Amino acid sequence: MAGMFATLLGEMSGRNEFSVFITEAQRQRVLRGLFDNYYADTPQEVIFDTSRAWCTRLPTIRQLLPNSRVIACVRHVSWIIDSIERLIRKNSFTPSAIFNYTPGGTVYSRANGLAGSDGMVGYAYDALKEAFYGEDTDRLMLVQYESLVKDPAKVLNAIYAFIGEQPFEHDFGNVSYNADEFDQRTGTPGLHVVRPKVELIERPTILPPELFRRFEKDAFWRDPAANTRGVRVI
């Protein structure tokens, strides 16, 4: 959805010589119609879309989808990069789309690629900051990994309150999710594997010490003084 949304925006922009015939009202109807048509066969009233790009679209989706909310799942960047590095090493015979299917490189080049502004982690991080310090923080919630694995029931209840839905019981010892076909296609088997039980598992990092420390202070959401707009952080 986020990709199609961006493509439509681009095609209706000034780079298209016929955009002079597209009014602002028409542009908004086309974009709103993208959501209506894509989910036309979905009976559920609440839809979760997992694209990291929505943090950069809060002013837009506020107008198109007034009831929309963004829930950003956050974790220390060092541990995110550690997890991806573990996965790359596990699939050492399969080049990953994360790095444009390029074999080789080092843990340093991979970490730099991930953390760059156009990298998988860096882009999401910058987009989150844009939303965190923007003007639409009333529809933004941050969910910390540590909170989720230590007290999932409390976190889920907070999410339901945020989106205005009634909570219900979950079995946190029997979680089921499968994206094997997508993971295989991206050359990264196991990318979306979720352990059946929600729990905290301590582990040592496989990153070189100075590389791990490079990102230690990037968790800006943990500093109350930085939360100038009162974003919900669970």
How many other C-beta atoms can be found within 10 angstroms of the C-beta atom of residue 127?
A: 21
In-domain check, residue 50 = no
Taking the mean position of all CA atoms in its chain, how far away is CA 176? 19
In-domain check, residue 54 = no
Instruction: Give the C-alpha separation, 85 to 191, whole Å.
Output: 11
In-domain check, residue 16 = no
Q: What percent of the chain has pLDDT over 90?
A: 94
pLDDT at 132: 98
pLDDT at 176: 85
Residue in the block written with tokens 């088997």: 189
pLDDT at 54: 96
In-domain check, residue 118 = yes
Residue ranges of E strands in the chain: 70-74, 140-144, 232-233
Please state the rounded mean pLDDT for residues 98-123.
95
The boundaries of the domain holding residue 119 are: 71-233
In-domain check, residue 41 = no
Above 90 in pLDDT, residue 220?
yes
In-domain check, residue 217 = yes
In-domain check, residue 124 = yes
Three-state secondary structure call for residue 154:
helix
Above 90 in pLDDT, residue 83?
yes
Q: How many domains does the chain have?
A: 1
In-domain check, residue 175 = yes
